[in-house]
Chain A
């Protein structure tokens, strides 16, 4: 064979701009910044509640109820109105953020983590491990979560962390199911076969090659999970697991007052908005993150 022909591709194609770090790119997206801001505000609101809340969240003000015992709509004293016991709603929402953030972020995050791990493992390692894991998932799914919650409530003394635990234990199952299905499809793809021929270990394939493809699903479940877990917490509290009155959480404010939503809409509306904003904020950040990490999105301005 004669002289190789020159390969001066360098001259042909100018090197693309150095891809800036993922975080920097993230901060360049206005929607992501909005999302991050909301999250920071929520976290700060929860952390600084004792200093910024206008009132004690549990104090039942005499002038917080009308003479007939009706709660007050938003007014100059009680900015977001009062609840059925004459307590300041704004203060309760601020304090309630503490509970709800723990649930929405920690418990939901834990569920997401467990579910993803189980689903990915089961989906990839079919065979025995996969079978056992998925049947265990089926078992957990078939098992009435509410019952578990009630039993725990009655056996243990209720606390926020118990409810977080219960939610994590209950919610991972669904994530696992969905991730499992996607993983089983992914693991039939040719590039996974290629990885195997290279001798890549199972964990490597799982975490380096399959997980990144599941990112969008994980983000969807993670962000939607925030709303559902925060609301689930209220149900569990109602059954006696988790925070007990008068401690506030966004979920239980809604739950306590939902029958009054016509008479006192603010009692449902404001905590509802809080939950919505939190979930949306995480979704904005998640979507942006996914776009930033997704190579095919390069070039989208």
Chain B
């Protein structure tokens, strides 16, 4: 087991290395010159070349990457070209918000999604089931911006129950998390429904019912754990989605997450920030997936880690 963990951690490091090479290469190939972004529109050619030399962007790719890697190994993510501050500092400032939103968003998705999925599976084939199906598709097909703004309008402006935007208190978290939850719940609902339908007709469910267990116990204790495995995998995926940014929701609710930072950096080829955000989110994704794999045997004891 410890060996497995060790192996996976080594693999994780390799994956991060791979991500860094590819990203760096893509940014290198990108037909947009970060130096010109730094130098601004009034810069002379000489200024541009000066800056290029200072940043080492005139060096061949391997030299540039090698230097980046060397710094990275020392924990240095470099300085942003345009913000002129430590990338690590910028990311650390926004990481708590992102993690918080991620946790709350995933929680919302899970609660809404699993509830919908269970309900639909139990009421399979009835109008309830169909209504739930339509709602999950509405959630998935709806543009984030519109949903976010609608919620904000209703609960923030009209009813005034919740703050319109910002970050800080639990009340601020509700709307953005709910928006993400409503949008993502469709996936969970459909997945839960489909695995639950498979599980509900297994013999052991019959056993559980024969024991006279309550419907909810049968559902939550016996059926759900058997159906939840793909859901765990989906949480791993969601971590990726949240980390690489839920830009739209973040900006609607003024949420100081990593998504906005990344989006602005991408628009303006701020390579150190792009690299930093990519690596941090890659780390989260790799760890998230590792966690999902580690949890799997707990959920289904027949699965062995290999």
Interface residues, chain A, with chain B CB atoms under 8 Å away: 126-127, 131, 135, 138-139, 141-148, 150-151, 154-155, 174, 177-178, 180-182, 184-185, 188-189, 213, 216-217, 219-220, 223-224, 227-228, 230-231, 254-255, 258-259, 261-262, 268, 272, 275-276, 279-280, 283, 296, 300
Q: Is the CB of B194 within 8 A of A217?
A: yes
For B240, the closest partner residue in chain A by CB is A141
Interface size (B, Cβ < 8 Å)? 64
- Which residue of A144, A188, A296 has the most chain B CB atoms within 10 A of its CB atom? A144
Q: Which residues of B have CB within 8 Å of A181?
A: 229-230, 232-233, 292, 296
Please give the distance in Å from B68's CB to the nearest CB on chain A.
Answer: 16
- Asked if B282 is at the interface (CB within 8 A of a chain A CB), the reply is yes
Complex Cα distance, B141 from A126, in Å, reads: 35
Q: Is the CB of B26 within 8 A of A272?
A: no
Q: Is the CB of B137 within 8 A of A227?
A: yes
Complex Cα distance, B14 from A139, in Å, reads: 9
Q: Is the CB of B134 within 8 A of A154?
A: no
Complex Cα distance, B187 from A189, in Å, reads: 26
Q: Give the top 5 A-B pairs by smallest Cβ distance, nearest first.
A: A142-B282, A227-B141, A181-B233, A216-B194, A188-B302
Please give the distance in Å from A81's CB to the nearest CB on chain B.
Answer: 17
Q: Is the CB of B286 within 8 A of A142?
A: yes
- Asked if B214 is at the interface (CB within 8 A of a chain A CB), the reply is no
Q: Is the CB of B281 within 8 A of A144?
A: yes
Main secondary structure of the interface of B (DSSP, over half): helix
Instruction: Provide a sorted-by-A list of 24 A–B residue pairs whose CB atoms are within 8 angstroms.
Output: A127-B306, A138-B11, A138-B15, A138-B286, A141-B289, A142-B240, A142-B286, A146-B244, A147-B27, A150-B30, A151-B26, A151-B27, A155-B29, A174-B234, A177-B234, A178-B230, A180-B233, A220-B194, A224-B136, A228-B140, A259-B145, A261-B149, A272-B141, A300-B125
With contacts A180-B233, A272-B143 taken as known, whether A143 is within 8 angstroms of B266 at the C-beta atoms is no
Q: Is the CB of A141 within 8 A of B237?
A: yes
Q: Which of B16-24, B38-46, B85-93 is the interface stretch? A: B16-24
- Asked if B118 is at the interface (CB within 8 A of a chain A CB), the reply is no
With contacts A182-B230, A188-B303, A220-B190 taken as known, whether A154 is within 8 angstroms of B141 at the C-beta atoms is no
Q: Which residues of A have CB within 8 Å of B140?
A: 224, 227-228, 279
For A231, the closest partner residue in chain B by CB is B143
- Asked if B197 is at the interface (CB within 8 A of a chain A CB), the reply is yes
Complex Cα distance, B145 from A230, in Å, reads: 16
Please give the distance in Å from B20's CB to the nearest CB on chain A.
Answer: 10
Q: Is the CB of B229 within 8 A of A142?
A: no
Please give the distance in Å from A25's CB to the nearest CB on chain B.
Answer: 16
Q: Which residues of A have CB within 8 Å of B60?
A: none
- Asked if B133 is at the interface (CB within 8 A of a chain A CB), the reply is yes
Q: Is the CB of B29 within 8 A of A151?
A: yes
Q: Among the listed A142, A216, A254, A272, which residue makes an inter-chain contact with B285, where contact means beta carbons less than 8 Å apart?
A: A142
Complex Cα distance, B262 from A152, in Å, reads: 18
Complex Cα distance, B29 from A294, in Å, reads: 50
Q: Is the CB of A185 within 8 A of B143?
A: no
Q: Mark B235-248, 1 if CB is under 8 A from A, else 0.
A: 01100100010000
Q: Is the CB of B30 within 8 A of A219?
A: no
Q: Which residues of A have CB within 8 Å of B143?
A: 231, 254-255, 258, 268, 272
For A269, the closest partner residue in chain B by CB is B146
- Asked if B182 is at the interface (CB within 8 A of a chain A CB), the reply is no
Q: Is the CB of B266 within 8 A of A147?
A: yes
- Which residue of B16, B134, B140, B141 has the most chain A CB atoms within 10 A of its CB atom? B141
Please give the distance in Å from B78's CB to the nearest CB on chain A.
Answer: 17
Q: Which residues of A have CB within 8 Å of B300?
A: 185, 188
Complex Cα distance, B117 from A220, in Å, reads: 12
Q: Which residues of A have CB within 8 Å of B282?
A: 142-143
Q: Which residues of B have CB within 8 Å of A262?
A: 149
Residues of B1-59 contacting chain A, CB below 8 A: 11-12, 14-16, 18-19, 22-23, 26-27, 29-32
Q: Among the listed A138, A141, A189, A261, which residue makes an inter-chain contact with B146, where contact means beta carbons less than 8 Å apart?
A: A261
Q: Is the CB of A224 within 8 A of B190?
A: yes
Q: Is the CB of B137 within 8 A of A142?
A: no
Q: Is the CB of B266 within 8 A of A182?
A: no
Q: Is the CB of A177 within 8 A of B141?
A: no
Complex Cα distance, B18 from A254, in Å, reads: 36
Q: Which residues of A have CB within 8 Å of B244?
A: 144-146
- Asked if B76 is at the interface (CB within 8 A of a chain A CB), the reply is no
With contacts A147-B26, A228-B140 taken as known, whether A154 is within 8 angstroms of B31 at the C-beta atoms is yes
Complex Cα distance, B149 from A16, in Å, reads: 56
Q: Is the CB of A177 within 8 A of B236?
A: yes
Q: Is the CB of A138 within 8 A of B289?
A: yes
Q: Among the listed B14, B138, B198, which residue makes an inter-chain contact with A216, where contact means beta carbons less than 8 Å apart?
A: B198
With contacts A142-B19, A181-B232 taken as known, whether A258 is within 8 angstroms of B186 at the C-beta atoms is no
Q: Which residues of B have CB within 8 Å of A142?
A: 15-16, 19, 240, 281-283, 285-286
Complex Cα distance, B198 from A138, in Å, reads: 28
Q: Is the CB of A276 within 8 A of B11?
A: no
